[in-house]
Amino acid sequence: MFSPPDRQTLERLSGETGFIRDTLEKMYRLLAILAEISSTRDLEGKLALKGGTALQSLHLGFRRLSVDIDFNYIGSVEKPVMERDRVAMRTALARLLMQGGYEIESERPSHAEHTFILAFRNNAGNRDRLKVEINYLERLPVLETTEYRMRPPFDIPEEIGVRSYRPEELFGMKARALLARATPRDLFDVSLI
């Protein structure tokens, strides 16, 4: 897992991009987690990135930085297969996150989704959090998912392979989120579509 840059580099990038330093660090950390997930055998091909992170990183050019990772499980539409995969994926994801230096502060498993709240010490020495969420209800994409090569703009040393939805489906999901939640981030994302 690649590490976020030091505080001085983050401050320089903050000045160049206008993004808040701590939010930039969170984005680095999210991208490192995505890179690890995409190369972990027990998770490969079973998760599709969705939400603001997918839109901004794959289609809208990082106009807004996200502070969480949202996935849909797409490994199988069959419930028994999903339930079996869910156990193996939880174990693999927890191991990956702890090896990356994260404390799993809380887990919120439910029938519909599994949420990991991750705690870490940021470059400023403060305790901070990230969220990784997997939805298990929306297992069947409307359109085929695609393997994308993400090239982050902020001094990240490698491309990141990630499975996600086609732009049309992501746009539809974001419009649905705007209607359901009416948050400023959803309105901003929809305004860019």
8 A C-beta contact, residue 43 and residue 93: yes
8 A C-beta contact, residue 75 and residue 135: no
Q: What CA–CA distance (Å, rounded) separates 181 from 121? A: 30
pTM over 0.85: yes
The amino acid at residue 71 is: F
Query: What's the confidence (pLDDT) of residue 102?
Result: 95
8 A C-beta contact, residue 169 and residue 76: no
For the sheet with 47-50, list strands across it: 103-109, 113-121, 127-135, 68-73, 47-50, 160-164, 146-150
Task: Report pLDDT digits (tens) over 120-176.
Answer: 999 999 999 999 999 999 999 999 999 998 877 666 667 888 999 999 998 888 788
Query: What's the confidence (pLDDT) of residue 1?
Result: 62
Query: What's the confidence (pLDDT) of residue 185?
Result: 72
> In which residue are the tokens 């982050």 written?
152
Cα three-residue angle 50-160-108, rounded to 5 degrees: 40
Count of CB atoms situated within 10 Å of the CB of 78 = 11
pLDDT under 70: residue ranges of the chain: 1-2, 153-157, 186-188, 190
Where in 26-81 does DSSP place strands (E)?
47-50, 68-73
The amino acid at residue 13 is: L
- The fold adopted by the segment(s) 7-192 is Nuclear Transport Factor 2; Chain: A, (3.10.450)
